[in-house]
Amino acid sequence: MSFLHSALAATTLMAMAFSSSINAHAADPENTVVLTLKDGDVAIELNPDVAPKHVEQIKKLVREGAYDGVAFHRVIPGFMAQTGDVKFGNLDKNYNANRVGTGGSQYADIPAEFSDKPFVRGTVGMARSQNPNSANSQFFIMFNEGSFLNGQYTVIGEVTSGMEAVDKIKKGNEADNGSVDNPDKIVKAIVLSDRK
């Protein structure tokens, strides 16, 4: 009888684990971007309901392969890792160490889509200049909470798996605003629904 109870309990636990695993991967593949980094894949669930114009531009650039080879040019320990300068930041072609972080894409800048989504560990936000309507292609992933950014930068999504790979991104020089020598890069970026 106790064996039967143990078997039933084990079966119930396995079913619960399987169910939560399914739910964890129930994100919309059309709004999930996967970044392949040197230490593994990072899945980002995008929020088209919160920042539709930003999400549309990010997906368009991903589908064009614009992020493949692009450096994490500004990485501040305990804060965030910034990437996405498709004009000056591609380590595989035309990388410009003096200008990386100042470029965008061939598309127009996007008006701010601020929301009440907080900046916490794993939040993905859009980088911009002092002008709130200047986000274009660059984005950053938070290592830790950053409530001082709330309502000041557009949140486009959150990391749902692979933060351990984000944590291993090569850090920059804090005295030089996180500038990274010989930076890590996005090896490849895809929209999950396009995975063959």
Nearest 5°: the CA angle 11, 17, 22 is 125
The answer to whether 88 and 100 are in contact (CB under 8 A) is: yes
When the pLDDT of each residue in the chain is averaged and rounded to a whole number, the result is 89
Quickly count: other Cβ atoms within 10 Å of residue 97's Cβ.
16
Question: Does residue 20 surpass a pLDDT of 50?
Answer: no
Asked if pLDDT for residue 3 goes beyond 90, the answer is no
Per-residue confidence (pLDDT) for residue 107, from 0 to 100 = 98
**Where do we find the tokens 């100042």?**
102
Q: What is the mean pLDDT of residues 47-53?
A: 98
- Residue-wise pLDDT for 23-39, tens only, equals 344 589 999 999 999 99
Give the end-to-end CA distance of the chain in Å, rounded to a whole number.
48
DSSP string, 46-109: E-TTT-HHHHHHHHHHHHTTTTTTBB--EEETTTEEEE--TTT-BTTSS--TTTTTS---SSPP
User: Is pLDDT above 90 for 166?
Assistant: yes
